[in-house]
Structure 1
Amino acid sequence: MDTRTGKRQTKKKRKWPYWVGGIIVLLILAVGLYLYYLYDKVEDTVANMHEPLSRDADPDRQKELESIVKNKKSINVLLLGVDQREHDVGRSDTMILMSLNPRTNKMIMVSIPRDTYVEIPRRGMDKINHAYAFGGTDLSVKTVEKAFDIPVHFYVKVNMEGFKQGIDALGGVTVKNDQAFSQGGETFKTGSIHLSGEEALKYIRMRKEDPRGDLGRNERQRSVIKAAMDEAASFSSITKVSDILSILGGNVTTNLNMDKMQTLFTDYRDTRKNIETMEIGGSGDVINGVWYYIVPEQEMDRITQAIKTNMKEN
């Protein structure tokens, strides 16, 4: 063999590891830059979502909340699903109270019927969902705290249009449906069904055909939310993260900042694996020509004690 030819072949053999190494370095840089972009976008999104309650301006309260989260103590979160329309303050169409205990990895999820007859601070007795129309998120939180005699540490408010878009971004959710029904032109069969965002919104809004009325509707809301949490926790398509962040930024507000949100994701997310759902028993009654959902005092006490017990368990 020609000595020069042998040398050229040897050089080619030596070059290919450098090419491969260069490609790997470029890939690492590209992934790193994309992750940095996502992290930067997350920070921007969370900053856009951040809307403290008026009482959150108190430094002592902030220290208390930071201590609770840092020491992995139980927290209570109020989820508000708001049907917000143009030139209208909106209504809290969905109210779900969640109690998360990271030490026992347990969550209690309570759906609050929107017509529940309670005392709204400085407004008197009325439907609980009217608190949002009277005083926004601040008054909704205060009303829930007063009704159940428990603290609400954080809130998350979701525009229902954003809820629909978020479900689509996750690729839909799968739930188990116990009752066949039709709603808004869609037919929902019994058994395991996969829902798009539009279908999920129709699924959780039906109550007229449900023999359990609002209670059945609330149960469907909880099942969709649990399915969405599971989808989000196992979400692996990083290419869609940017889309999800854009949806969240325009449709979700919360008093959780970036640090607290990160801590909740790492220290509290396993509570979703052990969820106890609770219904609030009551009966309908007409007072001064208006229909209300009347909850006996002992029933309110039952819910309160369950949440307080969950908060104390170690």
Structure 2
Amino acid sequence: MEEEQQSRTLQRRKIRRRRRRKRIAVFFITVATLLFLVVGGGLTWAWSQISGLTNDTFKPLPREISDLRPDQESVNIQDDHVSVLFLGVDSREGAVSGRSDAMILATFNRDDSSVKMLSIPRDSYVEIPDRGSERISHAHAYGEHDLAVETVENFLDVPVDYYATINFQAFIEIVDTFGGITVDSDISFSEQDSEHNPDAIFIDEGEQELNGEEALAYVRHRNTDGDLARGNRQTEVIASLINEATSISNISNYDDAFKSLENNMNHNIEGFQELIAFHSYASSLDSMERFQLEGTFERIDGSEVIVIDDTSLANARLKLRNHLELDDPEQP
């Protein structure tokens, strides 16, 4: 009887450990795949897979801590509220460079394990350090993640503690790995494919299943309804892919998802222990607050850009700074 009780206790402990591993890995790929990619985990081999991936794709920022944290010497994921900038770039397999077609800043509050996610339109007209005023998507093309992080910080007045950049090849492969995603499109439209063939992909209006190529077209399209509507589609895809990736039926596909990331992403999350510290947020991913900057289209120097509304910018700045529990710099 005693041996049977001990066996049950050990079994319960194993189940709890497996659940914890799944939460950690699910959150990591939300970070690792930037805006849309949660590949999860739940098997013992996931520990070594994630650890190896973090080492192979690690590229630090040229600083220890953001200048917007003047009262801190360091940021610790285990103890601090932190932010992560997710960047999606249009580059070929094996390269993580070029303009950022997707840019999302997420903040994580340690006290209540909540997540907020701000979508920044790629055509936002902002000041890029040493380059002047241009579309914010150009920052990554000029200086990769270093300049993209600096530009976002200057624009939002919110510290960027971590970043994760992924190219669209990995996005396509991971969507296909999990058997596609479900979306509900407000409009029908055609869009180029990943090889830039015009009108190669057609999206119907209404609910439908999309494969990797179709999902990429869905999150990139803006010709019909603009950059702001595209931001809504990107956050919709995040939620849908989280749902697919955490499905028990997709456990056998995690290994392929990790392989898709190996040569197609960069990040500055140093070491496996930092990733473990993120596990408490995994249960909040399906209820995270998603919002985006609003603005108006204007033609400046021959290019159509989005001039972000001052009120929208101020509200987003305040919401993210409050979530990080930072003092308002405009207050005494």
**Amino acid of the structure 2 residue aligned with 1:297:** D
Matched, 1:206 2:206: no
| Alpha-carbon shift at residue 57 of structure 1 (Å) | 9.1
Alignment partner, residue 59 of structure 2: 51
Query: Any conservation in 2 of the 1:170–1:235 contact (CA below 8 Å)?
Result: no
| Alpha-carbon shift at residue 299 of structure 1 (Å) | 2.5
Structure 2 counterparts to residues 117-196 of structure 1, below 5 A: 117-183=125-191, 184-196=199-211
Equivalent residue for 1:272, pick from 276, 281, 285: 285
Aligned length: 273
Matched, 1:261 2:269: no
1:170–1:102 Cα change, 3 Å: farther
CA distance in 1, matches of 2:73, 2:65: 11
Percent identity of the aligned residues?
34
CA distance in 2, matches of 1:215, 1:43: 36
TM-score by length of 1: 0.78
Q: Which has the larger Rg?
A: 1
Query: Any conservation in 2 of the 1:46–1:249 contact (CA below 8 Å)?
Result: no
**Comparing 296-305 and 175-184, the one that deviates more:** 175-184
Equivalent residue for 2:74, pick from 57, 61, 64: 64
| Alpha-carbon shift at residue 153 of structure 1 (Å) | 1.1
CA distances 1:127-172 after superposition (whole Å, capped 9, x unpaired)? 1111111111001001001100011111110101111111111221
Alignment partner, residue 88 of structure 2: 81
Alignment partner, residue 237 of structure 2: 224
TM-score by length of 2: 0.74
Structure holding more helix per residue: 1
CA distance in 1, matches of 2:288, 2:152: 20
CA distance in 1, matches of 2:98, 2:222: 20
Query: Any conservation in 2 of the 1:77–1:152 contact (CA below 8 Å)?
Result: yes
1:237–1:284 Cα change, 3 Å: closer
User: What runs of 5+ residues in structure 1 fail to find an aligned partner?
Assistant: 1-34
Alignment partner, residue 330 of structure 2: none
RMSD over aligned CA atoms reads 2.7
Task: Find the residue that maps to 1:140 and give its secondary structure.
Answer: helix
Query: Any conservation in 2 of the 1:100–1:271 contact (CA below 8 Å)?
Result: no
**Amino acid of the structure 1 residue aligned with 2:286:** K
CA distances 1:221-257 after superposition (whole Å, capped 9, x unpaired)? 1111222223333455443222111111121211113
Query: Any conservation in 2 of the 1:119–1:125 contact (CA below 8 Å)?
Result: yes
Task: Tell me which stretches of 4 or more aligned residues in structure 1 moved more than 6 Å.
Answer: 60-63
Query: Any conservation in 2 of the 1:92–1:129 contact (CA below 8 Å)?
Result: yes
1:284–1:123 Cα change, 3 Å: same
1:299–1:173 Cα change, 3 Å: same
Matched, 1:298 2:311: yes
